[in-house]
Structure 1
Amino acid sequence: MTAALAVEKIKLKHPPLQLHYLGDRVLRQDTKRIAKVDNTLRNLIKEMLQTMYSEDGIGLAAPQVGINKRLIVADCDPENATSPPLVLVNPEIQGFSQELCVGQEGCLSIPEVFLDVLRPRAIEVKFKDESGRPRRMKASGLLARVIQHETDHLNGVLFVDRVPNDLVLAEALRKQGFSTRAVETI
């Protein structure tokens, strides 16, 4: 993370960007590739990070704030001021582990709903960083889950679409005032 993009990991009373919630069509659109990494994009990255920290998130995709771009920010250690967040511009998952694992997921676009989702334990992803440099990395555990979850957002997929138990899903959504009609089962 470049110094120009350093963002304090604090909750702002008024985050710069507004979240969109389950049922909003912006969450179901395929996103557009980013042609160039410039200061305008870096400003958006900064605002996405500020919004993510303000909402107690560990990942945020551009569609969640109404922006139709292939951009993700993530930070699996938001309490640690010295660990830099991860910025993925145009991420492409290149490989998945054969080993799968179940983990509980939540989403800033579906507040207070936490459900188990089956995903590959490890991935390999290629992307550009906040300076526009091509990068490739392997991730496992929580970071792999976050990258897969946020990459799904870039393709119009939400984690609730991957929950196999319709009864558990319906109950969790109903409790928080969301409709199961907004779910598109995969």
Structure 2
Amino acid sequence: MSLRAVLRWPDPRLAQVCAPVEQITDDVRQLAADMLETMYAAPGRGLAGPQVGAMLRIFVMDTEWKSGPAAPRVILNPVVVPHGSETAIRAEGCLSLPGIEAEVTRPATVHMRWTDLDGAAQEAIFTGFAAACVQHEADHLDGIVTLDRIDPATRSRLEAACRP
């Protein structure tokens, strides 16, 4: 495993839609391992392929490790669907926008389907912080960053704060 550099906004790769993972190869497994190591070292709770320059529909997450035992997940080709009509507002940070937090409104509960590293189909219902995390990471796979989810005035203020 090795640490990978995390791209920072406004790197144009963060605005690109990623390609599906067509085959689970040794390279994909190595990418997943590197992404988990990078996420934990950052320290973050989620990291998407494009954040490390891998333009594939892959993300890793572990919403538990800062408060309990590690529970890493590798998510390939996720499909996220709102589950119910309730929304939640949460402060979201992003490893590609260091030092920036923004209040983002998202569905409070989501149903997600994905493929794991063994090629098995998975699905789960996510609520609370985990729901926000999977939506945030899935956004990265569609070229969407936190700044794209907030009002224009707040975005302008935060852009000024995070420009290199």
Structure-1 residue corresponding to 2:107: 120
- Distance in 1, Cα, partners of 2:134 & 2:73: 10
CA offsets 1:82-128 (integer angstroms, 9 cap, x no match): 33211110001134321011100011001101010000000000001
Q: 1:105 aligns with which of 92, 95, 99?
A: 92
Q: 1:104 to 1:81 in 2, by over 3 A?
A: closer
1:31 counterpart (1, 5, 18): 18
Structure 1: distance between partners of 2:11 and 2:162: 16
Equivalent position to 2:28, from 34, 41, 44? 41
Counterpart of 1:68 in structure 2: which amino acid? M
Question: What residue is the counterpart of 1:170 in the other structure?
Answer: 156
Moved more, 36-45 or 98-107: 36-45
| Structure 2 match to 1:73 | 60
Aligned mates of 1:157, 1:82 — CA distance in 2: 30
1:176 deviates by 3.1
State the AA in 2 paired with 1:59: G
Distance 1:83 1:111 in 2: 23
Gaps of 5+ in 1: 1-6, 8-14, 179-186
Backbone CA RMSD of aligned residues: 1.7
1:4 maps to none
Alignment CA distance shift 1:100-1:81 (3 Å): closer
What is the number of residues matched between the two proteins? 164
Greater Rg over alpha carbons, structure? 1
Structure 1 length-normalised TM: 0.82
CA distance in 2, matches of 1:21, 1:98: 33
The alpha carbon displacement at 1:27 in A equals: 0.7
Deviations 1:134-171 (A, max 9, x none): 1011000100100000101000011111112x333322
Q: Could you tell me how far 1:39 is from its partner in structure 2? A: 2.3
Tell me the percent identity: 29
What secondary structure, in the 3-state scheme, does the structure 2 residue paired with 1:93 have?
strand
Q: Check 1:81–1:122 CA distance in 2 against 1; reply closer, same or farther (3 A cut).
A: closer
Gaps of 5+ in 2: none
Q: CA offset at residue 81 of structure 1?
A: 6.7
Question: One-letter code of the match for 2:102?
Answer: L
**TM-score, normalising length: structure 2:** 0.93
Distance in 1 (CA, whole Å) between partners of 2:154 and 2:55 is 31
Q: Which amino acid aligns with 1:92?
A: V
The question of 1:130 aligning with 2:117 is answered yes
The CA deviation string for residues 62-99 of structure 1, in whole angstroms up to 9 with x for no partner, is 00001110001001122357332111100011343210
